[in-house]
A and B are shown apart, each in its own frame.
Chain A
Amino acid sequence: MIEAFQFDFMRNALAAGLLASVICGIMGTLVVVNRIVFLSGGIAHAAYGGIGLAFYFNWPYLPSTIGFSLFAAMVMAAISHAVKHRADTIIGVIWALGMAFGIILIDMTPGYNVDLMSYLFGSILTVPRSDLLIMAVVGVVMTTLVVYYYQDLLAMSYDEEFAQIRGVPVKKLYFGLIGMLAVTIVLVIQVVGLILVIALLTIPPFIVEKYANSLVQMMVASSLLGAVFTVTGLWFSYRYNLTSGASIIMVSGIVFLISLAVDKIRGAAQKGSA
């Protein structure tokens, strides 16, 4: 492993992976406890529409992708807030439409073909330093916001009605959370790919949720676990010459399954002793 880090690209990949782990650990905790995993998937896929717009109209890449994702995210947030019981269906529709819209726009863009695979799995091994800087800035801004609004976010996630009675601006906070989610998802996708973002948003928070006693603990533990997955996955990818993003996800998935099995065994043992 050590000798792998003689290479610049491996050092950058590691830094990108660790930054993604921390960002996804914090956002993922909020995603999991607010049960908006599906909505996050919707944002991540619909973002492809923004990429299509950027290519077709030759607009700058980041602003148009972020703008389009924010728009799609706000529509999904409005719907999921207003008609909760139909939210998943509408999100599914926007999910598919955004992606198809992007693909058709890219079809119609003469002479250019964006690689869909790199959108899905990213190219963590070719991350430029500038992207690392963007991720670091996003990470710091996001962490600051989460720390400042921590009590409000906690109350809203746990008991929305009670939070509202206590004067928490629940609606604004919810839209703010989704907006922040959209921005971070787009930026992190750029670096590590859509599939890895979804995996890092969901798997570590899910595993640590039952052991954590507070949201902070869950955020910190998710970030650490994500970092462990990233490092292990990168090592496998380097050692056996495998796709890095997919390796990281496989490691996460295996630990996820082990944690499920451990729960089952512990549950059975408790029942047996009771």
Chain B
Amino acid sequence: MAIIEIKNLDFAYNGEAVLKDVNLAVRQKDFVAIIGPNGGGKTTLLKLMLGLLTPEKGTVRVDGKSPQEASPCIGYVPQDVHTNRSFPITAIDVVLMGTLDPKNRLSRRTAANRRDALKALKRMEMDAHADKKIGTLSGGQRQRVFIARALVSAPKLLLLDEPTASIDTKGQADFYRLLRELNQDITVLVVSHDLLVISRYVKSVACVNKKLHYHDQAEITGDMLETMYPCIVEEVCPVELVAHGLPHRVLSDHEKQPQ
């Protein structure tokens, strides 16, 4: 069974179509990159998967359930690693936020939760910083804390929105290696407009620019995407545009895609 199943989805914002007739099925343990130009609907698609937005038409199913019902098995790492640096919160308290369960207001925050949070931090090699204030950590360290927060609820699916925005190039490579490791038992879906690092690690690519084009793993050959793609033409898969500027083709034409 596909862990994410989107069928005939339309979404409009202020009357303007952002996503049109989107279909997507993501296998278990897939590592998908969602790429596309700014304003192409990547983040909107992610928010639909998270249940933060409701589709105008069509359905979104995560793990066979509605996104809201599936929420406990989704780990989410937001784009912004937070602007409010002075917020009084420690790394471990950020991670504990991932165990939040509003249905159990009185009985939460148990010692078991704390152990889970420490374990998640340890997995991210951040356990030594557990009691430090989040604002004193570096961008890359904060990113790891946010992933720990997503992992603490033992999700089946990890969704990340532009996760490398605040990390330098060296850090980005480490970061994607880490995601590949996590991908051994979790489905990973990364939204990015940066193909530079992604191409080496992902198994499949979904191009979103109002419409969605899905490229299966076989078509990706690795580290050939040297530049960010320019995105001008609407409804054309942006990745194709990059491929034109390179000595070899990266992805097959959309027409040739097996449906």
Chain A positions within 8 Å of B, measured between CB atoms, are 33, 148-149, 151-152, 154-155, 157-159, 161-169, 209-210, 212-215, 217-218
Contact = CB atoms under 8 A, between A and B. Distances in A.
Given A155-B97, A158-B97, A214-B93, A165 B71 contact: yes
Nearest to A167: B102
A215 B88 contact: yes
B76 A158 contact: no
A166 B84 contact: no
A166 B102 contact: yes
A214 B89 contact: yes
B102 A33 contact: no
Contact of A151 (B50, B84, B100, B133): B100
Contacts of B93: 154, 214
Interface stretch (B18-26, B103-111, B192-200, B227-235): B103-111
A162 B101 contact: no
22 contacts: A33-B88, A148-B106, A151-B109, A152-B102, A152-B105, A154-B97, A155-B97, A158-B87, A158-B89, A158-B94, A158-B97, A165-B50, A165-B52, A165-B71, A166-B71, A166-B101, A167-B103, A169-B102, A210-B86, A214-B89, A214-B93, A215-B88
Given A165-B50, A165-B52, A169-B102, A213 B109 contact: no
A165 B76 contact: yes
B78 A213 contact: no
A220 to B, nearest CB: 11
Nearest to A215: B88
A161 B100 CA distance: 13
Contacts of A165: 50-52, 71, 74, 76
Given A154-B97, A161-B78, A162-B76, A168 B87 contact: no
B86 A209 contact: yes
A33 B84 contact: yes
B82 interface: yes
B90 interface: yes
Contacts of B76: 162, 165
Q: 7 closest A-B pairs (Cβ-Cβ)?
A: A212-B88, A166-B100, A218-B88, A167-B102, A155-B97, A168-B102, A213-B90
Contacts of B97: 151, 154-155, 158-159, 162-163, 166
A69 to B, nearest CB: 27
A213 B108 contact: no
A154 B97 CA distance: 9
Given A158-B97, A165-B74, A167-B100, 19 more contacts: A33-B88, A152-B102, A155-B97, A158-B82, A159-B78, A159-B82, A161-B78, A162-B76, A163-B97, A163-B100, A164-B52, A165-B52, A165-B76, A166-B101, A167-B103, A168-B100, A213-B133, A214-B89, A215-B88
B140 to A, nearest CB: 19
Interface string B43-84: 000000011100000000000000010010010101000101
Contact of B71 (A167, A212, A215): A167
